[in-house]
């Protein structure tokens, strides 16, 4: 055998070995079985599928919007306070000379509840007190207290439970 024939024989042998080896490497291995629990499968699906992650967030957002819409039926509590003090020189001869001082204080507490039928019920209590150093005052200090109950029900516009629950219905549909 000549040198050229030996080289050709080696080249053919290497090519054959290369094609056989690449054919063996290209074959797929048999299917692997992976045992996963349901929680692991959900975790892997959420981790690798962004559409599922977006759906989970949109579901949470929808339930949050329903909860926010229901908050209109929670009672509300308001408290206010006001104070006033006045000092003024006497302008009337019966008051005498000098400065008279008047002070007043206002307190109010209100509890309101929106009703599912479209109305609003509220209870308010307000206190008012005034004190002065003016002469000829029958009651000094003077106190006034009021308790008010209020029920407001629209009869035409915004009447009924559908209108009152409109925000909840919209939140459920979204």
Q: Give the start-to-end residue ranges of the domains of the chain.
A: 38-69, 75-173
Confidence of residue 79 (pLDDT cuts 50, 70, 90): very high
Using one digit for the tens of pLDDT, what is the confidence trace for 95-147? Answer: 666 788 889 999 999 999 988 888 889 999 999 999 988 777 788 889 999 99
Q: Which CA distances in Å does 12 have to 1, 4, 17, 26, 48?
A: 15, 12, 9, 21, 47
Query: Where do we find the tokens 């692991």?
Result: 40
**Distance of alpha carbon 155 from alpha carbon 69, whole angstroms:** 23
Is 75-173 a CATH 2.20.200 domain?
A: yes
> Sign (positive/negative) of CA torsion 93, 129, 151, 111?
positive
Using one digit for the tens of pLDDT, what is the confidence trace for 34-71? Answer: 787 888 887 777 777 777 666 666 667 767 777 777 77
pLDDT of residue 77: 94
**Distance of alpha carbon 52 from alpha carbon 79, whole angstroms:** 47
Average pLDDT, integer, range 25-41: 70
């Amino acid at each position: 055998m000549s040198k050229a024939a030996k080289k050709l024989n080696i080249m053919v042998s290497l090519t054959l070995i290369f094609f056989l080896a690449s054919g063996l490497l290209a074959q797929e291995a048999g299917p692997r079985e992976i045992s996963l629990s349901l929680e692991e499968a959900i975790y892997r699906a959420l981790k690798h599928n962004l559409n599922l992650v977006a759906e989970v967030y949109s579901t949470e957002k929808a339930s949050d919007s329903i909860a926010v819409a229901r908050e209109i039926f929670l009672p509300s509590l308001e408290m206010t306070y006001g104070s006033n003090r006045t000092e003024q020189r006497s302008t009337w001869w019966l008051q005498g000379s000098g400065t008279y001082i008047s002070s007043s204080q206002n307190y109010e507490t209100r509890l309101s509840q929106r009703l599912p039928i479209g109305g609003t019920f509220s209870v308010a209590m307000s206190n008012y007190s005034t004190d002065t150093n003016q002469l000829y005052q029958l009651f000094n200090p003077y106190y006034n207290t009021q308790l008010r109950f209020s029920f407001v029900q629209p009869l035409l516009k915004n009447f009924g439970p559908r209108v009152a629950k409109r925000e909840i219905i919209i939140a459920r549909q979204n």
